[in-house]
Amino acid sequence: MVDVSPGRLTPGPVSSGAASPRQVDAATTPLAEARGVGRTFTVGGQEVTALRETTLQVRPGDRIALLGPSGSGKSTLLHLLGGLDTPTTGTVSWPALGEANTLRPGKVAFVFQAQSLMPPLTALENVALPLLLTGATPKAATGEARRALDTLELLPLAEQLPEELSGGQAQRVAVARALVTRPRLILADEPTGQLDSVTAGHLMDVLLSALEPSSALVMATHDEAVARRLDTLWRMEGGGLLSRATKEGPS
Ligand SMILES: Nc1ncnc2c1ncn2[C@@H]1O[C@H](COP(=O)(O)OP(=O)(O)OP(=O)(O)O)[C@@H](O)[C@H]1O
Ligand SMILES: [Mg+2]
């Protein structure tokens, strides 16, 4: 079993000082916690291990890159951390956020590896949708969605349908949709995979500056340069979390 505790940005235990118990809880309570989590699939009678038993926590302020070759389990882990999939062994919980059925839309947001925009809706409508689902008025949702698109320099594409966008543009709209509710936990699956290096760098700038300090980001990527923009690096291979490191070195 791999035991991965929180990365460098995680506030350490508070033994004394001015913070009230309530403040301490808010700063350290994990947003997501996996205990002994494994996932197997049965394909044509054969069992495939997508994720070996893994224990980890994602805490407020974490900026984590998940790096590993194709098939190493990155998407599987992200899906489990977001409550989109159920583990075969172990448990996933969200101590700071509540039960699995309360996570979306609003508290946990995904940027999926595959194209995930709603085909009949324009870029603007796609980005407004999570706000409408959390009870915003159409006027407020549209205003917020415009601002999110503007941040990613996508406003000129607001009225276009997903089929009228390039793969990279669609992925940036998906990032705007993920950020628009100001979620506590963002799980991004290769959001820069279809972007050239300049656009990928810009997307990382925007994503990192748009994150609330107390929100957490876990991002799967193949790209070492993208991974280096984050504070903590988790390496995966063969369904296992091999190591973790911070900018200061292994931990
Ligand atoms: N729904 C599924 N049914 C069967 N096998 C699956 C399923 N999802 C994932 N797997 C298998 O689990 C393993 C891990 O897959 P996963 O998608 O997590 O890898 P990944 O690291 O995200 O790869 P990539 O970089 O190509 O996206 C792979 O061997 C994959 O074939
Ligand atoms: Mg994947």
Q: What is the CATH number of domain 62-83+98-250?
A: 3.40.50.300
Does the CB atom of residue 76 touch ligand 1 within 6 A?
Answer: yes
Q: Which residues contact 57 (CB under 8 A, 6 or more apart)?
A: 4, 5, 6, 10, 30, 32, 33, 34
On whether the CB atoms of residues 97 and 185 are closer than 8 A, the answer is: yes
Q: Residue whose CA is closest, atom 1 of ligand 1?
A: 41
Does the CB atom of residue 43 touch ligand 1 within 6 A?
Answer: yes
Does the CB atom of residue 71 touch ligand 1 within 6 A?
Answer: yes
pLDDT at 23: 52
Nearest partner of 168 among 185, 154, 148, 186, judged by Cα: 154
* 72 C-alpha to ligand 2 centroid (Å): 8
Would you kindly state where each structural domain of the chain is located, as residue ranges? 62-83+98-250
Rounded Cα–Cα distance for residues 177 and 166 (Å): 16
pLDDT at 25: 64
Does the CB atom of residue 238 touch ligand 1 within 6 A?
Answer: no
* 50 C-alpha to ligand 1 centroid (Å): 6
Largest CA distance in the chain: 59
Predicted structure pTM score: 0.86
The per-residue pLDDT string of the chain (251 residues; one tens digit each, 9 = 90 and over) reads 444 433 333 333 333 334 455 455 667 899 999 999 999 999 999 999 999 999 999 999 999 999 999 999 999 999 999 999 999 999 999 998 888 888 887 889 998 877 889 999 999 999 999 999 989 999 999 999 999 999 888 999 999 999 999 888 898 899 999 999 999 999 999 988 888 888 888 888 888 888 889 999 999 998 888 898 999 999 999 888 777 777 766 55
Q: What angle do CA 222, 10, 98 make, to 5 degrees?
A: 90
